[in-house]
């Protein structure tokens, strides 16, 4: 368990990486909109303003939103709403929600916003980019920018050649999807992607930022995580660099020492919330009644969960002992 996995899902790696490299995100995913912006003027994250228009009922959903104030080249202020859809499966009312948020921003602040979406799911046919209705005397058509991370799997050479940090983000995301139920392959790719950060000659801060994202999304079973750390520790020693193993390793060791029942329960519950969203109270109680051995088994099984139904099926097959 790394330090990042102790955080709540709302403090997601996507939010962190967007905040750390927002101009690069815009240039990578939405270059036409990025070309409108004067990046010499500071941008501002409007977190308080976004909370005023976000529904509390949606807090448990697996997505990251950032509302950002930027300045156009001609000097005019403009707001950007960046939405990262992290759900493993498509959301039926996604386009409607994009329109609703855009409308709420204008209604509450009198400010038009450019709405942009980053889709992380694995369904190649799901590509929402508009919301509309049409009646004889009234019609509406709302179009928003949308990119599909899945499309980058055919542009791997382009990703490898890019020095934009979001090329690394996309590679980590794609390899996580492609190595479901292949933990050994995932371990190899995790090491390869982190090693690439050093080979690019990045600054220590950038290596740490991108490492945290890779480490979060490319979760490994405990035995392979231990192997990974040993190999990575040797790698840093050979390069006479200790950017990660002197700091992030502390969190990993703390996780190893937290092998008691309560620590295992807390870890499993946090990872489940990350994988399938909020858990009903009765499900949490059922998990808390599992034995330590069952918790460890569930901790490995949940890496392949994509919906809460997967958890229900596992609990049915593994009754409390």
Cα 290 to Cα 275: distance, rounded to the nearest angstrom: 19
pLDDT, residue 248, reads: 53
CA nearest to 147, candidates 175, 172, 168, 166: 166
Query: At a CB cut-off of 8 Å and minimum separation 6, what does 73 contact?
Result: 36, 37, 38
Q: What is the spatial distance between Cα 193 and Cα 229, in angstroms, rounded to a whole number?
A: 14
Domain-wise residue ranges, the chain? 3-152, 155-256, 258-321
Residue 9 has pLDDT above 70, yes or no: no
Per residue in 193-246, pLDDT tens? 999 999 999 998 999 899 989 988 898 888 888 899 889 888 888 887 767 765
Q: What is the pLDDT of residues 242-258, one digit of tens each?
A: 677 654 554 544 454 44
Could you give phi then psi for residue 86, rounded to 5 degrees? -95, -5
Mean pLDDT of 265-286: 83
207's CB contacts (< 8 A; 6+ apart) are 197, 198, 243, 244
The residue with greater pLDDT, 47 or 32, is 32
Alpha-carbon torsion (192, 198, 201, 206), positive or negative? positive
pLDDT digits (tens, 9 = 90+) for 143-197: 999 999 999 999 999 999 999 999 999 999 999 999 988 999 999 999 999 999 9
- Pairing of the two strands 77-85 and 63-71: antiparallel
Longest dimension (CA), the chain: 71
User: Of 11-15, 115-119, 233-237, 310-314, where does mean pLDDT reach its minimum?
Assistant: 11-15
pLDDT value of position 202: 92
Q: In the structure, what pLDDT confidence band is assigned to residue 6 with cuts at 50, 70 and 90? A: very low
Specify the residue for token string 């450019």: 114
In the three-class reduction of DSSP (H, G, I as helix; E, B as strand; rest coil), residue 84 is classed as strand
Name the band, by pLDDT with cuts 50, 70 and 90, for residue 87.
low
Say how far apart CA 242 and CA 204 lie, in whole Å. Answer: 9
**Residue 240, class by beta-carbon neighbours within 10 Å (0-12 exposed, 13-18 middle, 19+ buried)?**
exposed
Q: What pTM was computed for the model?
A: 0.74
Q: Which of 31-40, 163-172, 286-295 has the lowest mean pLDDT?
A: 286-295
> Which DSSP string corresponds to 116-167?
EEEE--S-TT----EEEEEETTEEEEEE-EEEEGGGGGG-HHHHHH--SHHH
| In the chain, % of residues over pLDDT 70 | 86
Task: Compare 296 and 33 and report the one with higher pLDDT.
Answer: 33
Q: Share the mean pLDDT of the chain.
A: 85
């Amino acid at each position: 368990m790394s330090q990042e996995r102790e955080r709540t899902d709302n403090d997601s790696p996507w939010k962190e990486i967007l905040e750390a490299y927002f101009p690069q995100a815009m240039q990578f995913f939405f270059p036409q909109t990025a070309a409108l912006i004067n990046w010499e003027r500071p941008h501002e994250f409007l977190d308080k303003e976004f909370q005023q228009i976000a529904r509390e009922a949606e807090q448990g959903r697996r997505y990251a939103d950032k509302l950002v104030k930027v300045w156009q080249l001609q000097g005019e202020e403009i707001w950007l709403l960046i939405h990262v859809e992290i759900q493993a499966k498509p959301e039926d009312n996604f386009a409607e929600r994009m329109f609703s948020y855009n409308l709420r921003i204008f209604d509450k602040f009198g400010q038009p916003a450019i709405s942009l979406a980053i889709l992380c799911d694995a369904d190649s046919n799901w590509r929402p980019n508009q919301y509309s209705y049409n009646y004889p005397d009234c019609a509406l058509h709302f179009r928003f920018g949308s990119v599909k991370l899945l499309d980058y799997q055919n542009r791997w050479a382009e990703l490898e050649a890019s020095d934009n940090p979001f090329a690394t983000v996309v590679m980590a995301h794609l390899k996580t999807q492609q190595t479901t139920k292949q933990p050994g392959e995932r371990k190899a790719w995790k090491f390869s992607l982190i090693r690439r950060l050093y080979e690019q000659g990045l600054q220590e801060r950038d290596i740490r930022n991108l490492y945290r994202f890779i480490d979060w999304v490319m979760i490994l079973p405990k035995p392979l995580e231990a192997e990974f750390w040993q190999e990575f520790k040797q790698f840093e020693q050979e390069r006479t660099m200790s950017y990660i193993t002197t700091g992030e390793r502390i969190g990993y060791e703390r996780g190893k020492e937290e092998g008691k029942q309560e620590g295992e329960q807390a870890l499993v519950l946090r990872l489940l919330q990350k994988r399938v969203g909020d858990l009903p109270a009765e499900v949490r109680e059922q998990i808390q009644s599992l034995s330590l051995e069952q918790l460890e088994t569930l901790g490995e099984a949940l890496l392949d969960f994509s919906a809460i139904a997967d958890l229900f099926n596992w609990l049915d097959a593994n009754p409390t002992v």
